[in-house]
């Protein structure tokens, strides 16, 4: 019998997210819609490299971009955005949840990858 992974549906999205810069872009966009110029400023990344990262995230359907004059506004695709107390991404067969916490005087973020299975998953 051949083994079939239950995560197959989200592997390409996870591959796109695995890059540190793309993950930080998604983290920023989970907080709020952000202009490309602000992402460049906050992440201290070259515009051409950011353009490449945004293209990959768009191809995976994780973000949407809209032009406002000369500026481009980026946001998480509402189809994959998890709303509520713990923000995150629903990638189909799995989800990534942003769990804020506190440690000393700075914010700590933990990420939880969960397989969506009706028998084991409870929200």
- Per the CB < 8 A criterion, the answer to whether 16 and 22 are in contact is yes
Q: Which of 48, 1, 51, 4 is CA-nearest to residue 25? A: 51
CATH topology of domain 8-115: Arc Repressor Mutant, subunit A (1.10.10)
pTM: 0.76
Q: Residue 76: its pLDDT value, please?
A: 95
Output the pLDDT for position 12.
Answer: 82
Domain boundaries, the chain: 8-115
Local confidence pLDDT in tens for the 123 residues of the chain: 676 666 566 778 888 888 999 999 998 998 899 999 999 999 999 999 999 999 999 999 999 999 999 999 999 999 998 877 778 888 877 888 876 654 443 344 555 665 555 444 444
Helices 47-59, 36-43: axis angle to 10 degrees equals 120
Coil, strand or helix at 109: strand
């Amino acid at each position: 019998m051949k083994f079939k992974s239950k995560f197959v549906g989200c592997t390409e999205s996870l591959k796109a997210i695995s890059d540190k810069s793309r993950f930080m872009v998604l983290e920023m966009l989970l907080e709020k819609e952000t202009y490309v110029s602000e992402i460049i400023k906050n992440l201290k990344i070259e515009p051409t490299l950011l353009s490449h990262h945004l293209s990959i995230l768009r191809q995976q359907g994780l973000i949407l971009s809209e032009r406002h004059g000369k500026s481009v506004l980026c946001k998480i695709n509402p189809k994959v955005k998890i709303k509520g107390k713990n923000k995150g991404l629903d990638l189909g067969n799995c989800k990534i949840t942003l769990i804020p916490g506190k440690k000393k005087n700075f914010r700590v973020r933990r990420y939880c990858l969960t397989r969506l299975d009706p028998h084991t998953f409870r929200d």
